[in-house]
């Protein structure tokens, strides 16, 4: 049965969306088909997150999709497809590295509004996330934060300042717990 399904997917790869889901993002088999179908329906029929050109969980929201720079590697796209209840507000920009893994409930907020006039968006540096970063469930990253490569952020953390490469951080506000020695440097 699995070989038949693979054969059908390979046959229908001339259709761009199936080619992306199957060949480029490698989502079939990792993401349940029902979830992909519901997410597609929310984007195409209901118009929620319509400008998003990759699979996004139907309970997640992206504001300012044009200001997000990222690679389309399978780990990052798989996280967007599987992790629900996420909020990405990219009015000042979000830059995401390769192999970005995140759990449900993650919030990336790249801008604040003014105190006196709530309609004015305050300028800030974009959020920068390095390669091989893992965000636990419920992590909140605030404007102007840069997270280095090979960083693990513990669940429920509120990241208010930048952190270097190869660290494990957690807490509210987040602080360095220890060095990330699980990554082998060459």
**pLDDT tens column, 15-73:** 565 556 555 556 656 677 778 788 888 888 888 888 888 888 999 999 999 999 998 88
Pick the CATH number of 54-179 from 2.160.10.10, 2.40.10.10, 2.40.10.220, 3.40.390.10: 2.160.10.10
Q: How far apart are CA 67 and CA 90, in angstroms?
A: 6
In this structure, the number of other CB atoms found within 10 A of the CB of residue 58 comes to 20
Q: Which residue has the higher pLDDT, 179 or 27?
A: 179
Q: What percent of the chain has pLDDT over 70?
A: 82
pTM for this prediction: 0.83
Active-site residue among 113, 123, 161, 178?
A: 113
The rounded distance, in Å, linking the Cα atoms of 133 and 165 is 10
Mark whether 113 is an active-site residue. yes
The residue extents of the domains of the chain are: 54-179
- pLDDT at res. 83: 92
Mode of pairing for the β-strands spanning 158-159 and 140-141? parallel
Instruction: DSSP letter for 166, please.
Output: S
């Amino acid at each position: 049965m699995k070989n038949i399904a693979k054969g059908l997917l390979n046959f229908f790869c001339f259709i761009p969306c199936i080619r992306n889901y199957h060949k480029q993002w490698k989502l079939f088999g990792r993401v349940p088909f029902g979830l992909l179908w519901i997410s597609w329906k929310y984007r195409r029929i209901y118009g929620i997150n319509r400008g998003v050109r990759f699979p996004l969980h139907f309970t997640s929201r992206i504001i300012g999709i044009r200001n997000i720079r990222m690679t389309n590697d399978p780990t990052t796209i798989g996280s967007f497809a599987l992790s629900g209840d996420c909020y990405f507000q990219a009015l000042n920009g979000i830059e995401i590295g390769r192999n970005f893994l995140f759990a449900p409930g993650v919030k990336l907020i790249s801008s604040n509004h003014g105190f006196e006039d709530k309609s004015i968006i305050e300028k800030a540096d974009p959020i920068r996330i390095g390669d091989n970063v893992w965000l636990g469930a419920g992590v909140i990253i605030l404007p102007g934060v840069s997270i280095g490569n090979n960083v693990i952020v513990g669940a429920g953390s509120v990241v208010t300042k930048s952190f270097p490469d190869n660290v494990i951080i957690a807490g509210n506000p987040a602080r360095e717990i220890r060095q990330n020695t699980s990554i082998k440097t060459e």
